[in-house]
Amino acid sequence: MSKTLVVYFSATGQTEELAKTIARATSGNLCAIHPAQPYTKEDLNWQDPESRSTLEMKNPEARPALAKPTPCLDCIRDYDVIFIGCPVWWGTAPRVVLTFLESADFSGKTMVAFATSVQTEAAGVDNAVKKACPKANWVGECKRLAPTASIEEVREWIAGLGL
């Protein structure tokens, strides 16, 4: 497999677990997307109409700032295949993931999206990341996996991508 980077955003640690499994399965390097202002438990309360995450997700133009430095952005040119993962928020990708994708040139990069969610399908994430990063060569549809997916399950999914 080509030189692989697994980039992920994880507010609660669940997507991070899956990203680590994907990195092991691909022998890829791992890199986390960190917002400039980390999310607190209160920020993530989806039942609070005034929580930070709710307000961001209600605004399609919201682009939370990334923490500086942003190592994931600095090394994109060194990789051929980039997996990008996140939880499903409000049926789509968290706005901070879109900030990341809109902050670099992914032209010609092979990109694969993955998402974590207990129930919500990943089609909204798929649409959002592909729209935010149209010059990449996207492979397949965004795959929703459990944070606890086994390495065998992850390897089977990746084998089906034909990378």
CATH number at residue 63: 3.40.50.360
d(CA 59, CA 105): 24
- Domain extent, residue 58, equals 4-159
Please check whether residue 116 is in contact with residue 144, taking contact to mean a CB–CB distance below 8 angstroms: yes
pLDDT tens by residue, 139-155:
999 999 999 999 999 99
Q: How many domains does the chain have?
A: 1
pLDDT number for residue 70: 83
In this predicted structure, the answer to whether residue 1 has a pLDDT above a threshold of 70 is no
pLDDT tens by residue, 49-71:
999 999 999 999 999 999 988 88
pLDDT tens by residue, 82-139:
999 999 999 999 999 999 999 999 999 999 999 998 788 899 999 999 999 999 999 9
